[in-house]
Copies of this chain bind each other. A is one copy, B any other.
Amino acid sequence: MSKSETKTSSAKNAVVAKARFARIRNDHAKELAEDYLEMIDDLTSANGEARAVDIANQLGVSHVTVTKTVARLKRDGLVTSQPYRSIFLTPKGKRIADNARRRHQTVLQFLLALGVPADSAEIDAEGIEHHISPATLKAMREFTKKNA
């Protein structure tokens, strides 16, 4: 098989693969954003505000990392913040946090219904929740309903 033939025959596959892998890579920022937004929402519910130091503790990063990430979230219209003040979600950020939490719960309940031990289920749900299509979420909900 010559190299030019290889290139030609895989051209269409490459286009498909390209889209798929690009999506995967772009998920990274989205994933991190969702983790922050959920955490900010949780802290706000629990304490009435989300302080950088609490976010840092919960996520296991330095407060500097939190500051920088929050600046990006702010730039993207997902949170509001003023110097030396707590961080709050915008409506858009709240919507994303709610969706992320819903997905998380769906995946977690599903894994438990499937018979995965609770500790593994919790960890895996965290990793998986950012990577599921609506179709798979739907299938998971249906399975959980039948096997709860």
Which A residues are closer than 8 A to B by beta carbons? 1, 3, 6-7, 10, 13-14, 17-25, 27-28, 31-32, 35, 46-47, 51, 54, 57-60, 111, 114-117, 120-124, 126-128, 130-133, 135-136, 139-140, 142-143
Q: What are 22 A-to-B residue pairs whose CB atoms are below 8 Å?
A: A1-B46, A7-B54, A10-B54, A10-B58, A13-B58, A17-B59, A17-B60, A18-B60, A19-B60, A20-B123, A21-B60, A23-B123, A24-B127, A111-B139, A114-B136, A114-B140, A116-B133, A116-B136, A116-B139, A120-B136, A121-B136, A124-B132
Provide the residues of chain B in CB contact with A13, threshold 8 Å. 58
